[in-house]
Amino acid sequence: MPENSEQISQIKANLNQVLENLRMLEEQYQRPANSVQLLAVSKTKPIEDICTAYACGQHHFGESYVQEALEKIKKLKIEQSNIKMSKLYWHFIGPIQKNKTRAITENFQWVHSVERLVIAQRLNDQRPSSLPPLQVCIQVNIDNEASKAGVISEDIQSLAEYLSKLKHIKLRGLMAIPKASSDIHQQRKSFANLREQLEHLNQSGFELDTLSMGMSGDLEAAIAEGATIVRVGTAIFGKRPPKT
Ligand SMILES: *Cc1c(COP(=O)(O)O)cnc(C)c1O
């Protein structure tokens, strides 16, 4: 079903606004131009929205639910083979169940939410050898919240060491979803903590270049503290229906 024109122009306007904002914040916080990459989080949103964003030049998309993502990826593969959408990159950013690792590693280029050794091992072992290594981030529970996914700071190093030995996985960096807060100082504290964890790894010999942090509500704090990928859904595609 073709997207109605109101929805198309809304997404276009939102996307341009977010990109403009990113470039402005890079300058404001003395980050190199274009050093912050935009990941458009399209979970719960229809394929038409993805096509609209793609037509505006957005090539990286984030999904959180495996089944939903697979349906979209499959449908869009047909478009890809038509060359209309040949540069489409999928990032998995949601919780990973053991029985979903094959589907994820066969269909995604990136996974931001690795937090367990067994999951990493399976993503590695099941990665098709025809594909380049899966690009991964370790998800960190940066504010030590009981309800949140991710490893605690003390466990980052050992998981990173394990991951760096896997041949079909390329460890790129760290990801976090900080404690919800509307206070930019609190937000920056959490993000600074993640940045320090990455610096710590690099001081001990890793060469990691990715900080996946910042969403619609805390972009400024994330960019101020060194985000290299921001994961933005609502500000591009509008509100999502409440989770059931
Ligand atoms: C949904 C989601 C986002 C996007 O959040 P918005 O507030 O809509 O920008 C980012 N990261 C993760 C891990 C998500 O699940």
d(CA 192, CA 188) in angstroms, rounded, equals 6
Q: Is the CB of 177 under 6 A from ligand 1?
A: yes
Q: Is the CB of 93 under 6 A from ligand 1?
A: yes
Question: CB-based contacts of 237: which residues, under 8 Å, 6+ apart?
Answer: 11, 14, 40, 41, 42, 45, 49, 53
Tens-digit pLDDT profile for residues 94-123: 999 999 999 999 999 999 999 999 999 999
**Ligand 1: distance of its center to the CA of 232 in Å?**
6
Residue 112 CA, closest ligand 1 atom number: 13
**Ligand 1: distance of its center to the CA of 42 in Å?**
9
The pLDDT value recorded for residue 70 is 97
Residue 43 CA, closest ligand 1 atom number: 1
d(CA 3, CA 20) in angstroms, rounded, equals 24
The pLDDT value recorded for residue 195 is 98
The pLDDT value recorded for residue 241 is 82
The pLDDT value recorded for residue 85 is 76
Classify 219 as helix, strand or coil. helix
Residue 39 CA, closest ligand 1 atom number: 10
Full-model pTM: 0.96
**Ligand 1: distance of its center to the CA of 63 in Å?**
9
Q: Is the pLDDT of residue 15 over 70?
A: yes
Cβ neighbours, 10 Å, residue 87: 10
Q: Is the CB of 150 under 6 A from ligand 1?
A: no
Q: Structural domains in the chain?
A: 5-237 (3.20.20.10)
Q: Is the pLDDT of residue 3 over 70?
A: no
For the chain, give the number of residues: 244
d(CA 137, CA 150) in angstroms, rounded, equals 11
**Ligand 1: distance of its center to the CA of 230 in Å?**
9
**Ligand 1: distance of its center to the CA of 39 in Å?**
10
Residue 237 CA, closest ligand 1 atom number: 8
| Range 183-198 average pLDDT | 98
- 83 vs 132: which has the higher pLDDT: 132
Mean pLDDT of the chain: 95
d(CA 6, CA 191) in angstroms, rounded, equals 36
Q: Is the CB of 231 under 6 A from ligand 1?
A: yes
**Ligand 1: distance of its center to the CA of 41 in Å?**
6
Query: Could you tell me what percent of the chain has a pLDDT over 70?
Result: 96
